[in-house]
Amino acid sequence: MPELATITSSVNDANEFQQLGDRVPTPPLNINTEYHQGADRDINAIELERKSLKETQVALVSRAKFIVIARDRQRRVTEEIRLEPDFTPKTGKDICGFDYRLVMEDEEFQVWSATSEAVTIFENAKIEGKSDMCLKKKCERHRGWLKVQEEDVAHGQGIVLENLARLDIDEARIRERRKERALETGQEGFNHVNIIT
């Protein structure tokens, strides 16, 4: 039995073996240092990846908020155009409303999100004016931009959640293997305690 072999290899003589019932075995402080250092490196790598994923998650939430704000501006500006004196049903179609900041890559968008302009937009949940906005009425280039942007964000959020769950599983496995490795070695430490009879 491997369990018995582990116990017997942890004592030096018969007297110590008889005293096993008087103390509770615990993993030694320094068992297979090289293995544990490797496990620590793996866990550190997991923590770094988890931190990166959390940052991406925050960026995606910001992007999702900005999409809603851009959509609201598109609707608002369309209504403003309908109130203009020269408005006619022929020219009254909804404008495209695409905000060119939506084409920013994640890192660029994160940097922009920290600017005073972005902070004001997020705090007020409103984009003033018509700058950085496509005002075309028939825009093939940005057709369906709202749905595309929403789907991209949802897809990105799904990937982040999947990867976070994978990291949790990987970390749990590493920690479990570390415990098993400690038990499989022929060395155990002991904390002496008094047994109440």
Q: With left for phi above 0 and alpha for psi between -120 and 50, is residue 173 left, alpha or beta?
A: alpha
pTM of the model: 0.69
The alpha carbon torsion through 26, 30, 33, 35 (nearest 10 deg) reads: 0
How many CB atoms within 10 Å of residue 151?
11
Q: Are 56 and 106 in contact (CB under 8 A)?
A: yes
**pLDDT value, residue 193:** 41
Domains of the chain, residue spans: 2-192
Q: Are 139 and 96 in contact (CB under 8 A)?
A: yes
Low-confidence residues in the chain, pLDDT < 70: 1-40, 89-92, 186-197
**pLDDT value, residue 117:** 96
The model's pLDDT over 41-87, given as tens digits with 9 standing for 90+, comes to 788 999 999 999 999 999 999 999 999 999 999 999 999 988 888 77
